Amino acid sequence: MTEKIDLRRRYLLAGTAAATGLAVSGVTVSAQDKPLPDYVSFKKPDALIVHSNNTIETRRDAFGTSLITPEDKLYIRNNVSPPDASIVADRDAWEVSIEGVAEPRALTVGQLKSMGLDTVAMVLQCSGNGRAFFDHNPSGTQWKVGAAGNVIWTGVPLRKVVDALGGPAEGMKFITGTGGETIPADLKERDVVVERSVPIDVLDTVLLAWDLNGEPVSLAHGGPLRMIVPGYTGVNNVKYLKRLALTAQESDARIQQSRYRLLPVGEKAGPQHPSVWAMPVKSFVTAPLDVARAGAVQVTGFAFGGINPVQSVEVSTDGGKNWQKAEFIGPDLGRYAWRSFALSTDLQPGTHLIVSRATDSEGNVQPEEPEPNNSGYNHNGWRDHGVEVAVS
């Protein structure tokens, strides 16, 4: 028993050390040949790259062409290690405190299930996905394309819960979710707690979700209850939700005030910098990878628009000199989901840089290179996300 507690504490401290600048998860250690941690033992090792116990990436060649990312292939990003598995023993008994409304109260998941039901398909993507492509070598896990997936959440719309409790209290401007991770007594709670605020403008899209891809949300992905903010980066989708508050101000937690901020390289982060909230338009190729035979080839990949529907995607097999329009494959699962795309083309022998470029419904085009930011967030440049393929 003592050994188990010590291991959990070590993993927690590793995650929080990265948060406080004492260590960087996924940079100082190799991601090769690491076993899956126990709490994600249900996942497929061959589909994943283990950077650390709290940062696990989907391999590009494991995505395939399916619109929905299976949970056993879905990436993992935890700012703090998951709580004890006992919290999912009786899922319906888990309580969340609802505050900042006319009639605040605590509700169990069982009670939430009687208040409404909705489902949303959406891209779940770590804010740092693509960080490895930035030239200034920002610290943090060196994600490439695999800290993302397209999943289906089911739960109660937050709007229904808020309305049932008398509506928002006066002057509320943010939705603030607090996670239920265990914080060691010797660490400052506000430095470590996962507590994120998003604008109240998204109230009508937020879900309090208990199912992922039709199954109860695993502990690894935030069960028994997770706050889901479609179109926003993963950190804003708070796991193990224990408090949901409509607030007049953003959270004073460090993860809100000085982390996950977009700022010029070399500056010190603070609340004066924009928060990492909505995702930008993006796409990436999933096949072919590395090698291909000359002749007819199907170039495949995924494209999404963040908070906007993705409108179109183009593919270039010569590094962006010439572009061809790709076709969307399969059903449209909604504005927040990604679309699978394909292009039938012929490849001649030689080396080809295959890239994709998406455009959203508002006319925003995926850039060749993104504007650098200090922590390496929201990389959506099409050139870096391309693949070099040797054709013979």
Q: pLDDT tens for residues 255-264?
A: 999 999 999 9
Q: Which residues contact 6 (CB under 8 A, 6 or more apart)?
A: none
Q: What is the pLDDT of residues 91-127, one digit of tens each?
A: 999 999 999 999 999 999 999 999 999 999 999 999 9
- At 214 the pLDDT is 98
pLDDT above 90 for 229: yes
**Per-residue model confidence (pLDDT) at position 184:** 86
At residue 91, what are phi and psi to the nearest 5 degrees?
-60, -40
Is the confidence at residue 299, as pLDDT, over 60? yes
Q: Is the pLDDT of residue 5 over 50?
A: no
Give the residues across from 299 on adjacent strands: 343
**pLDDT number for residue 23:** 34
Hey, which residues does 150 pair with through a beta bridge? 123
Element (H, E) at 356: strand 350-360
Mean pLDDT of 318-336: 98
Q: Do 372 and 134 touch, CB atoms closer than 8 A?
A: yes
Contact 43, 21 (CB under 8 A): no
Among 29-38, 139-148, 169-178, 346-355, where is mean pLDDT lowest?
Answer: 29-38
Mean pLDDT of 25-51: 79
The DSSP bridge partners found for residue 292 are 391
For residue 15, pLDDT beyond 70: no
- Rounded to an integer, the average pLDDT of 4-29 is 34
Whole-number pLDDT of residue 13: 36
Q: Report whether pLDDT(20) > 90.
A: no
Q: CA nearest 276: which of 331, 341, 232?
A: 232
With a cut of 60, say whether residue 340 has pLDDT above it. Answer: yes
pLDDT of residue 309 exceeding 80: yes
Supply the DSSP string of 281-338, one letter for each residue: PEEEEEES-SEE-SEEEEEEEEEE-TTS-EEEEEEESSTTSS-EE-EEES----TTS-
pLDDT at position 310 over 70: yes
Residue 12 has pLDDT above 60, yes or no: no
CB atoms inside a 10 Å sphere around CB 351: 9
Instruction: Look up residue 258 and give its two tokens.
Output: 């000085």
24 or 96, greater pLDDT? 96
Instruction: Inform me whether the pLDDT recorded for 17 exceeds 80.
Output: no
378 in helix, strand or coil? coil
Q: Which 8-state DSSP code applies to residue 17? A: H
pLDDT at position 30: 45
pTM: 0.91
When pLDDT is cut at 50, 70 and 90, the band that residue 11 belongs to is: very low
What is the pLDDT at residue 322? 98
For residue 358, list its beta bridge partners.
313
6 versus 73: which is more confidently predicted? 73
Give dist(CA 41, CA 59) in Å, integer. Answer: 17
Q: What's the pLDDT tens digit per position in 264-286?
A: 999 999 999 999 999 999 999 99
Predicted confidence at residue 32, as pLDDT, reads 55
